[in-house]
Amino acid sequence: MEEKILNGKKHGMLALLIILAVMVLSLGGFIYAISFCSDLLGILLTCLAMSIFVADIIALAGLKVLRPQEALVLTLFGKYIGTLKGPGFFYVNPFSSAINPARYTQLSQSGDVKNGEGLQISGQSIKADNSNKLSLKVMTLNNARQKINDVLGNPVEIGIAVTWRVIDTAKAVFNVDNYKEFLSLMCDTALRDIVRIYPYDVAENIDTTGDGKADDGSLRGSSTVVAKRIKDKIQESVNDAGIEIIDARITYLAYAPEIAAAMLQRQQASAIIDARKMIVDGAVGMVEMALNKLKEESIVDLDDERKAAMVSNLLVVLCGNKDAQPIVNSGSLY
């Protein structure tokens, strides 16, 4: 289904003036027929005036007012005739009808697709838009957090915010049953497809790009790349619905509660090991520097046994968690 824009329909004000003028004339004719005509002529004029008045009332249904970034998809006896876009006062066939299958559906900032007459957000009731106008504004979808297993099988909770807009009204109305619910579902499936490719943190021997080589991609460290892939995946899925995905961002990322404590301990242990390794590397370098300095300055000549004792003492002092308690020996060296 291709979108057809109805141009040259901004004659709403002229049509309204003509309708009002004809309505006044029909009322005048009705009054004249009752007051001054009788018999068959009066009946004919009365019927004619009433018919014109009813036709004018029906003609009023063809008046359409649109604000900026709004559109109306029109059908006539089941056939798509075109779309009105842009602000203005339009006049179309009064028997045409506007269609918007998602008029009672709101993509709430609080997270879920809601259907019905109203929506509860922060304790306040928001009435759903019951008009058949399609909004062409940039809108936001903040889907509920999902629990998804990453590539290592660890359950992860993740949420995304997607900014989108309708670019083809005909596709949005006729190609899918409800384009808002369709978008929400495609966001969920795209999120699952991409997240299960990545580990939460950098892991060994994991290929996240599909080139057959291990890389350092992760949900936590490559959030921009992950969000870009999610956006492209969603766009690929909603092309037939006439929707453009402008941006997608990860809004929440954490381990699932059932493994969060264990993963925190693992991260802490890894951090402690890395810190200890750095401390030991630094301590060995300092001991080596101290021995070389003593030898270069000829301050004292130590045999291998005394060097080993000095190295042991220095490593204990440099690598210990507590301050050392030195013992002063005032006797001989040996």
What is the residue extent of each domain of the chain? 12-98, 137-255, 261-319
Quote the pLDDT of residue 110: 40
Give dist(CA 222, CA 227) in Å, integer: 9
Quote the pLDDT of residue 125: 40
Quote the pLDDT of residue 322: 62
- Tokens for 250, please give them: 């990860």
- Tokens for 134, please give them: 């399609």
How many other C-beta atoms can be found within 10 angstroms of the C-beta atom of residue 72? 24
Q: What is the pLDDT of residues 276-317, one digit of tens each?
A: 778 777 777 877 787 777 777 777 676 677 767 777 767 676
CA-closest candidate to residue 179, choices 87, 73, 266, 51: 73
- Tokens for 258, please give them: 């059932």
Residue where the block lists tokens 């190295």: 311
From residue 256, alpha-carbon distances to 26, 64, 262, 264, 277 in Å are 73, 51, 11, 12, 30
Annotate 54-123 with three-state secondary structure.
HHHHHHHHHEEEECCCEEEEEEECCEEEEEEECCEEEECCCCCEECCCCCCEEECCCCCEEECCEEEECC
Q: Which stretch of DSSP H or E encloses residue 147?
A: strand 146-149
Quote the pLDDT of residue 189: 93
Quote the pLDDT of residue 121: 38
Quote the pLDDT of residue 130: 52
Counting as low any pLDDT under 70, the low residues of the chain are 36-38, 108-130, 260, 262-263, 265-266, 300, 302-303, 307, 313, 315, 317-334
Is the domain covering 137-255 a CATH 1.10.510.10 domain?
A: no
Q: Are 202 and 274 in contact (CB under 8 A)?
A: no
Quote the pLDDT of residue 119: 44
Q: What is the pLDDT of residues 74-92, one digit of tens each?
A: 999 989 999 999 899 999 9
CA-closest candidate to residue 192, choices 221, 241, 243, 150: 150
Give dist(CA 56, CA 113) in Å, integer: 41
Quote the pLDDT of residue 233: 95
End-to-end CA distance of the chain: 98
CA torsion angle 276 277 281 286 (round to 10): 0
